[in-house]
Structure 1
């Protein structure tokens, strides 16, 4: 079929499109973007979970695009990150950064995250309208990952702008320019930290590069760019989507407000309900294979949609309604298998701390616009709000007499 992801309604609400595709077949042959080259889009839960771990689906983009004509000018540090590799290269690179995102490492970051959330909420107006994406969902994960990497405060707004540009759907020149800007910045930052070492994660990676043979200079810059971008993009979407889901579903909101300690156990369901990643990063078939009942030829891009899979009614009854009692731990919002999101523990901690603080400090919070008036990011890969205008109502005592 023609590009199902190009209709104007898709960015605002992709789920009817996903449902229609899944009803026809959980793996569909589609054409996306301006290319006439076909792809296969996976919208069924079982098929997506299987595809995430199928070794015949490669992430080696350099191998796939070698020899193909291209008018793109993506910087190699962005085009060929760890996400675009297969084992054993992927295994080696992932091992170098895994320890920074373990549950224990994230637990040690919680006081800093809590302090950052409190500071951001202190800056909101006492009452009236505020944008929780601009004021909270963006700056929190940006601040945390930049702190981990040692990015100076004065550069963080620019770094965020470049990162946002990398996901500008339908604007290849803007994406390419941003890729060179952010890669150049990280290369300069690496050079600066060689001159003036600190205790950041980036400095740890520089040490691995300079004192051993586990990392090339190109891989070092690419890892730095990936950690910077991936370390906040999905979490920004996660926080915004989660707050919106709570505000749109009073039953869920009332339970979270009544028992803030339960918010952590609700995060998996919130991720399932509105995944911050609509379509996972690029894969292609290295040989012919069968996904579900669909035959996929060799050499074809395969797009896995966690957003669609998490709404598959054969896996999750009543998938379009968030259920606080549902066991959603097997959701695919973080992917599955060896490429499962490395930063999942950090994203969960940031979201839990943020939601608990917002609901505790803002008991009268409500949307400032009708849901259909909300603006969503113009990207197929991510599912996230451009803004989340809310009104904080302060409960005042009723005067006596």
Structure 2
């Protein structure tokens, strides 16, 4: 594609909560790139094909994540200050990023996550118990989707879950506030909260992730206090916002595809395969995979110049028919482990193992324990996230009688 398609305003809203915009497929059929206009009038390239998205994820030198670069693409006005809060990990390149990532990966290995599985299972059962005891109807987001990942990341990071209402409110404000000023205020509240928590842990050391970072990284001079605050915030926000979106939207999608849900009900052991297919099908973090080009490079026959912004669309790539036959059909029997919902290459989501374990346990447990679960109102009446950083539902009213 040579840029002949009319420039489209970005983000492009989804017509259906679990399908990407139709223009993605149309543009992908014409060529690997098409132009989109950001909120500030700048034009960026949106990459639509699986092979190209995967290759550009891996090409971290020329496709930079550095949010301090003034040319870095910003899709929404509220995200103007994101660089202030996420530059300590996702907003770094090269050795700096590798060093920061190495400080975290040890707590997110398959072995470490397996040690958390009993806690995740107990917490899931506890939350479902409470929902069932309260009786139908219920909002699955507030009953399970939001508290579970919040409790798990709190346990791992070492944040008191008693404070969850505050940090969840601020995290959601940072990620979804309608204006940059409101997002900034929520971010500052999070900074102040995390700074105070670090001081408490300095006085009384702990062996959780935050306590370890304090003693092994901050006190040794590898991290400044400000860097540690922002690194911890990145883990806290990413650790529950994305998974919460997947629980809500994933449940909705399964309820809307009863033939696929029946596969899970018949074989709870299929839960992890279901998670992989839902991750591919939904791509809830599609708006977060942004890059700026550091030198002229050709992508699929199109010249992309240094300084131009690029959006690596995981939603478009994960619906590429060259990789996934009948890509718009939810098929929990397909092998979708190679989907790009968690990224690829140096910036692949560090918490992927944890997220997949949480989702596997949630979907496997929820539909085993509440087999009659169904939506309590029509799909088009359920409030959902529109034009926000992550795709998903604001509420998910369900019943089971």
Determine if the TM-score, normalized by the shorter chain, exceeds 0.5. yes
Are residues 1:86 and 2:119 paired?
no
What is the aligned partner in structure 2 of residue 391 from structure 1?
Answer: 399
1:258 and 2:263 correspond: no
SS in structure 2 of the partner of residue 88 of structure 1: helix
1:2 offset after TM fit, Å?
4.2
Inter-partner Cα distance in structure 2 for 1:72 and 1:98: 27
**For 1:28, what is the secondary structure of its paired residue?**
strand
Residue matched to 2:378: 370
Correspondence for 1:122 = 129
Q: Which residue of 2 is the match for residue 30 of structure 1?
A: 36
Q: What is the match of residue 367 of structure 2? A: 359
CA–CA distance in structure 2, aligned partners of residues 195 and 16 of structure 1: 54
Length-normalised TM-score, structure 1: 0.91
Alignment match of 2:46 (pick from 41, 61, 76): 41
Residue deviations 1:215-241, cap 9 Å, x none?
A: 222221111111101111111112122
Superimposed CA distance per residue, residues 56-111 of structure 1 (whole angstroms, 9 cap, x where no aligned partner): 00111113369xxx998737650423100001000100001110000010000011
What is the 5 A alignment of 1:2-401? 2-5=7-10, 9=14, 12=17, 13-33=19-39, 35-54=40-59, 55-64=61-70, 74=81, 77-126=84-133, 127-168=135-176, 170-393=178-401
The whole-number CA distance in structure 2 between the counterparts of 1:203 and 1:373 is 44
How many pairs align?
Answer: 390
- Which deviates further from its counterpart, 172-181 or 336-345? 172-181
Distance 1:77 1:182 in 2: 12
Structure 1 residue 162 displacement after superposition? 0.9
Distance 2:7 2:83 in 1: 31
For residues 189 and 51 of structure 2, the distance between their equivalents in structure 1, rounded to whole angstroms, comes to 39
Structure 2 stretches of 5 or more lacking a match? 1-5
Moved runs in structure 1, 4+ residues, more than 4 A?
6-13, 70-73
- Corresponding residue SS for 1:284: strand
What is the TM-score normalised by the length of structure 2? Answer: 0.91
1:11-54 residue CA offsets vs partner (Å, 9 max, x unmatched)? 84533132233233321121121x11111111221111111111
Contact 1:75 1:180 in 2 (8 A): no
Contact 1:61 1:282 in 2 (8 A): no
SS in 2 for 1:349: helix
- State the alpha-carbon separation in 2 of the partners of residues 117 and 46 from structure 1: 37
